[in-house]
Structure 1
Amino acid sequence: MNILIVYAHPEPRSLNAALKDFAVRHLEGQGHHVQVSDLYAMKFKAVLDADDSVEHPAGERFNPSDASRRAFAEGTQAADIVAEQAKLQWADAVILQFPLWWFGLPAILKGWVERVYAYGFAYGVGEHSDRHWGDRYGEGRMAGKRAMLMVSMGGWASHYSERGINGPLDDILFPIQHGILFYPGFEVLPPFAVYRTSRVDDSGFAAACGALGQRLDGLWSDAPIPFRRQNGGDYAIPALTLRPELAPGRDGLGVHVADDVLATAV
């Protein structure tokens, strides 16, 4: 199988780097093919702007969605965008690896998503009608592929629990797992999380590698998070609201998971 790791940490001697290197060795040792987009080492341009098209007319008002659509359709995207899109098309599974900074993605990884997920590539795909509101949330160009987050945090696991001060980790990651990964069609596996990163010693690192190895071995066998498919009948179209007979009396992020449970693997 082909696995793409999109990696976002600026320090090559970090815990994240060591875990990334372990993941590559482990996957290649199992006979898989691995590519790594090391965004900081690549000095990947994080800012979406008019330069993302090599033929943006000088002086023309910049509309991000329209410019993205035209550049993708006309083959005028910047070379680094085209290269990352080719990696996504090559991959059977994608791992986004990053430290959780200010409750979200590092800016360079957010920029990778904004630039690489072009209109016509990752969004704006499929029929839009009163019966089918685009190929997204379970459909789309990434359908048939799998994805997983490898995320590290300085806080304790309890800080990210159901009653923890930071809020449940599954809620924090929902915009990434549901919005960035499930939206274009990935089957999304529960995240691999490492807590208290500054306190991970040799034995803790060995334990983390052991747990990570098990998760990597399950990339194609572990059950994905059962997010509800947009066009599968659970949502009224075009309102895109969950039908009232599903999860009655409830609201919030959990209703978009078929069994109302987001399972986090540590």
Structure 2
Amino acid sequence: MNILLIHAHPESRSLNGALKDFAVQRLQSAGHHVQLSDLYGMQWKAIVDAADTTQRLSTTRFDVAMESRHAFENGFQSEDITREQEKLLWADAVIFQFPLWWYSMPAILKGWIDRVYAFGFAYGVGEHSVTHWGDRFGEGTLAGKRAMLMVTAGGWESHYGPRGINGPINDMLYPIQHGILFYPGFDVLPPFVVYRTGSTDESRFARICDELGQRLDTLFSADPIAFRPQNKGDYDIPALTLRSDILPGQTGLSIHLSGRNDRNLK
């Protein structure tokens, strides 16, 4: 299978760097074809600006969405954007690897998303009507591919638990897993998270690699997170709210996960 690993850490000798090297070796040893986008190594340009297109739609006002669509549809994108889109289309699975900085991904990775997820490629796809609100949240250009986050965090696991000060890790990662990965169609696997990175010695590193190796070995067999598809009947369209007869009275991020009790609670 074809696997793209997007790596966002500035130090190759870091824990992230070592885990990246381990992951590439493990996947290749299993017979997979691997491409690596080392964003810092590539000196990836993180900001969206007029240089992202070789031929502007308008020279008087830079409308990000409209310029993005114009460039994508007409072959005017900068070469670095096109190369990364080609990698995404090539891949059967994508691993996004990064340290958790200020409760989110590093700016360079967000900039990769901002630029590579062009209008017409990752969003603005499909029919918009009173019954179908675009090909997104379970549909879209990247449907049928798998994605997984590989994240490191300095805090203890309990800090990211159900009653932890930071909030549950899955809530913290929800904007990425649901909004960036599931939105354009990825089947999103549960994240692989390493906590207390500052206390990693050789023996702990070996245990982390064992755990990561098991996750990589099941990349194409593990069950994805059960996010609800947008256009399969669970949501009222065009309001895009969960139907009132599904989990009535309940709110919060968890209602957007399908479960066996949905129909019992109607």
Q: How many residues align?
A: 261
Tell me which residue corresponds to 2:144: 144
Determine if contact 2:178/2:227 at 8 Å carries over to the other structure. yes
**CA distance in structure 1 between the aligned counterparts of 2:213 and 2:246, rounded to whole angstroms:** 37
Which runs of 5 or more structure 2 residues have no equivalent in the other structure? Answer: 262-266
**CA distance in structure 2 between the aligned counterparts of 1:149 and 1:57, rounded to whole angstroms:** 35
Partner AA of 2:190 in structure 1:
P
**CA distance in structure 2 between the aligned counterparts of 1:91 and 1:257, rounded to whole angstroms:** 26
Partner AA of 2:197 in structure 1:
T
**CA distance in structure 2 between the aligned counterparts of 1:55 and 1:105, rounded to whole angstroms:** 31
Measured after TM superposition, the shift of residue 48 of structure 1 is 0.5
Determine if contact 1:54/1:78 at 8 Å carries over to the other structure. yes
SS across alignment from 2:121: coil
Equivalent residues in 2 for 1:69-108, closer than 5 Å: 69-108=69-108
Determine if contact 1:46/1:109 at 8 Å carries over to the other structure. yes
Measured after TM superposition, the shift of residue 58 of structure 1 is 7.3
Determine if contact 1:254/1:260 at 8 Å carries over to the other structure. no
SS across alignment from 1:230: coil
Equivalent residues in 2 for 1:176-255, closer than 5 Å: 176-255=176-255
**CA distance in structure 1 between the aligned counterparts of 2:153 and 2:37, rounded to whole angstroms:** 21
**CA distance in structure 1 between the aligned counterparts of 2:250 and 2:187, rounded to whole angstroms:** 25
Identity %: 64
Tell me which residue corresponds to 1:22: 22
**CA distance in structure 1 between the aligned counterparts of 2:56 and 2:154, rounded to whole angstroms:** 42
Post-superposition CA distance 1:89-109 (Å, at most 9, x none): 000000000000000010000
SS across alignment from 1:126: coil
Partner AA of 1:116 in structure 2:
V
Measured after TM superposition, the shift of residue 59 of structure 1 is 3.6
Q: Indicate the RMSD between aligned Cα atoms, in angstroms.
A: 1.2
**CA distance in structure 2 between the aligned counterparts of 1:122 and 1:24, rounded to whole angstroms:** 26
Which runs of 5 or more structure 1 residues have no equivalent in the other structure? Answer: 262-266
TM-score scaled by structure 2?
Answer: 0.96
Partner AA of 2:177 in structure 1:
Q
SS across alignment from 2:98: strand
TM-score scaled by structure 1?
Answer: 0.96
**CA distance in structure 1 between the aligned counterparts of 2:174 and 2:42, rounded to whole angstroms:** 27
Tell me which residue corresponds to 2:264: none
SS across alignment from 1:69: helix
Partner AA of 1:91 in structure 2:
A
Post-superposition CA distance 1:9-45 (Å, at most 9, x none): 0001000000000000000000000001000000000
Measured after TM superposition, the shift of residue 219 of structure 1 is 0.7
Equivalent residues in 2 for 1:46-125, closer than 5 Å: 46-56=46-56, 59-125=59-125
SS across alignment from 2:232: helix
Determine if contact 1:8/1:38 at 8 Å carries over to the other structure. yes
SS across alignment from 1:98: strand
**CA distance in structure 2 between the aligned counterparts of 1:260 and 1:213, rounded to whole angstroms:** 30
Determine if contact 2:57/2:67 at 8 Å carries over to the other structure. no
Partner AA of 1:144 in structure 2:
G
SS across alignment from 1:40: coil
**CA distance in structure 1 between the aligned counterparts of 2:207 and 2:248, rounded to whole angstroms:** 41
Measured after TM superposition, the shift of residue 57 of structure 1 is 6.0
**CA distance in structure 2 between the aligned counterparts of 1:149 and 1:70, rounded to whole angstroms:** 31
Post-superposition CA distance 1:231-262 (Å, at most 9, x none): 0100000000000111222101110010299x
SS across alignment from 1:233: coil
Change (3 A) 1:75 1:35: same
Determine if contact 1:126/1:134 at 8 Å carries over to the other structure. yes
Tell me which residue corresponds to 2:154: 154
